[in-house]
């Protein structure tokens, strides 16, 4: 049996040439293509029509600790309405690269304050989302 390992330290998130640091405790980053690449429909007689979807949008959600220096960076990107590249790279035994060259932060992170360090989540929309 072939057993693969995973190490969170081998995952990098590059936003506009800056490597993010200070991720949340559990899920650091989530990547999702917004639409299916293909879909199918049946007519009443069972004939099938297949649609190839050319939409290329995706969403990357980044979770940081509120103490992360990357929080201010992403808040500023959101306020500036700047377009930037984003790449999420896992250099584990099974290498994965997700992202695109045209992305934007939808809004500054929601803020909450309490007795312990909280998290900040940023939604980044990628217009040319790709999985390599």
In this prediction, residue 79 carries a pLDDT of 98
Residue 72 DSSP one-character state: H
In this prediction, residue 1 carries a pLDDT of 86
In this prediction, residue 85 carries a pLDDT of 98
Model pTM score: 0.92
In this prediction, residue 104 carries a pLDDT of 98
Sites in the chain below the pLDDT cut of 50: none
Q: Distances in Å between the alpha carbon of 34 and those of 31, 53, 59, 121, 132?
A: 10, 11, 7, 18, 16
Q: Which domains, from first to last, does the chain contain?
A: 8-131 (2.40.30)
């Amino acid at each position: 049996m072939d057993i693969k390992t995973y190490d969170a330290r081998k995952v990098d998130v590059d936003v506009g040439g800056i490597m993010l640091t200070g991720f949340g405790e559990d899920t650091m980053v989530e990547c999702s293509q917004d639409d299916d690449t293909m879909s199918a429909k049946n007519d009443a007689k069972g004939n099938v029509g297949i649609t190839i979807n050319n939409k290329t949008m995706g969403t990357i959600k980044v979770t940081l600790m509120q103490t992360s220096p990357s929080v201010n960076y992403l808040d500023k990107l959101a306020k500036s309405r700047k377009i930037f590249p984003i790449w999420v790279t896992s250099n584990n035994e099974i290498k994965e690269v997700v992202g695109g060259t045209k992305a934007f932060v939808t809004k500054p992170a929601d803020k909450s304050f309490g007795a312990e360090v909280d998290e900040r989540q940023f939604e980044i929309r990628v217009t040319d989302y790709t999985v390599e």
